[in-house]
Amino acid sequence: MLMRCFHRSPLDPLGGAAVTVTLPADEARRIILRAQGLLGADARRGGASAALRRLGAVQLDTISVLARSHELVAYARLGAVGRRQVEQAYWDVPPRAFEYWCHAACILPLDDWPLYAFRRRAFRERKYRWHEVPPVVDKVLEQVRESGPVTTTDLGGAKNGGPWWDWSDTKIAIEWLLDTGEVVCTRRVGWRRVYDLAERAVPAALLAEDPADAECVARLARTAGRALGVATRADLVDFLRLTGPHAALLDAALADGAAGLAEVRVEGWTGRSAVAWADPAALAAPARGRHRTTLLSPFDSLVWDRARTARVFGFNHRLEAYVPKDKRVHGYFAMPVLSGGRLIGRVDPAREGSTLVARQIGVEPGIDPRRAVEPLAEALREAAGWVGCDAVRVERAEPALRQALAAAIP
């Protein structure tokens, strides 16, 4: 039986004694999983569009193993969701979402467009990206204004012919215009962004909103807090990538209640993690329901923050795609395996024709490999079916685990 503890804090900004909840670590983890759409039947309602609203941000990445990361995020929550459904949720007409900077390059609900005004203003004030903004920027803006939605191909190409980071001036210019809010990306063709004027693509009511930086940060902190379930200040900063004065605005929003989050403690979270924050509505409703068993993208918001993942799940997670092959421990794109509310292992998958290949499988320390067999097999079978594979092959695993998986996966 789970017991919550309550204690009164002398730091209530209204001068009274605020009540702070102390959560058992298991309960905090369940609240987190429910917030992330990975616990309970409600998670599947509304499909990929509702999942995006729940998560607040879905990270984009160019790596495609089994599928691209934004598709894997939807799959982890919804099961064998059609890829067309995911595309419609993210890049439909009329638009429901836009691409911008949050934790990283992300797909964001279009209704949140006004809340990123603080970041657009910061780009304008800074006057540079990691590239110097080229003089051609005004010409590029005028071309978009006159011709309508464009891709970088329409603008002459994204690269100068060198490495991937050797962008052409027109690519730098159009991305700068996106950073500052002159243009927006609300859809893609293939994997290419389609850029249009914000004034054409974003509904007028959203364009008319111009909240101050403090309001932007406070409202986004609420979004991040709800998406994360239970979060420390560092977790919120990481979700939104806040620095300097914007991080100070977060502190103010947490202290004065503008973020709408309740201060909590979690048993076992110590040091700078001793103080955490949660959505009051999530605290009021017991986190119950069926746990999802699934493979997770390394870019999934459940695990994208390494320090948080270690604190919540005791799982040390590192993407090794950019690690030299001979120094990899778990594999190029090792995907954490979620089952029973815990991260029980990792699978480094690939696809060869109609076969899903598990290049490497490992079970986490403290997890009984015998009990891990069925959830690992379930996760592999479901993933194989989703990507159209009719067979699964395990290449590297402990001999007993490999043999048991071979028997469990027809």
Quick: pLDDT tens for 321-374: 999 999 999 999 999 999 999 999 999 999 999 999 999 999 999 999 999 999
**How does residue 6 score in pLDDT terms, banded at 50, 70 and 90?**
low
**How does residue 42 score in pLDDT terms, banded at 50, 70 and 90?**
confident
**How does residue 158 score in pLDDT terms, banded at 50, 70 and 90?**
low
> Tens of pLDDT along 198-244?
999 999 999 999 999 999 999 999 999 999 999 999 999 999 999 99
What are the Cα distances from residue 20, in Å, to 5, 9, 17, 25, 198?
Answer: 8, 7, 9, 15, 43
Q: Tokens at residue 141, please?
A: 């803006």
**How does residue 4 score in pLDDT terms, banded at 50, 70 and 90?**
low
State how far the Cα of 55 lies from the Cα of 203, in Å rounded to an integer.
Answer: 22
> Tens of pLDDT along 260-306?
999 999 999 999 999 999 999 999 998 899 999 999 999 999 999 99
State how far the Cα of 371 lies from the Cα of 153, in Å rounded to an integer.
Answer: 52
Give yes or no for a cis peptide into 13 (omega within 30° of 0). Answer: no
Query: What confidence score (pLDDT) does residue 16 get?
Result: 42
User: What three-state secondary structure class fits 268?
Assistant: coil
Decide: 197 and 183 in contact? Cβ < 8 Å. yes
Query: What confidence score (pLDDT) does residue 17 get?
Result: 43
Q: Which residues contact 36 (CB under 8 A, 6 or more apart)?
A: 54, 55, 77, 227, 228, 229, 301, 302
Burial class (CB in 10 A: 0-12, 13-18, 19+), 161: exposed
pLDDT at 85 over 70: yes
> Tens of pLDDT along 172-190?
999 999 999 999 999 998 8
State how far the Cα of 325 lies from the Cα of 331, in Å rounded to an integer.
Answer: 8
Query: What confidence score (pLDDT) does residue 45 get?
Result: 86
Query: What confidence score (pLDDT) does residue 62 get?
Result: 93
Q: What angle do CA 49, 50, 54 make, to 5 degrees?
A: 120
Query: What confidence score (pLDDT) does residue 381 get?
Result: 97
Return the minimum-mean-pLDDT range out of 92-96, 326-330, 396-400. 92-96
User: What three-state secondary structure class fits 58?
Assistant: strand
Positive or negative: CA dihedral 299, 300, 303, 304? positive
Query: What confidence score (pLDDT) does residue 161 get?
Result: 54
pTM: 0.92
**How does residue 131 score in pLDDT terms, banded at 50, 70 and 90?**
confident
pLDDT at 10 over 50: no
Burial class (CB in 10 A: 0-12, 13-18, 19+), 52: buried
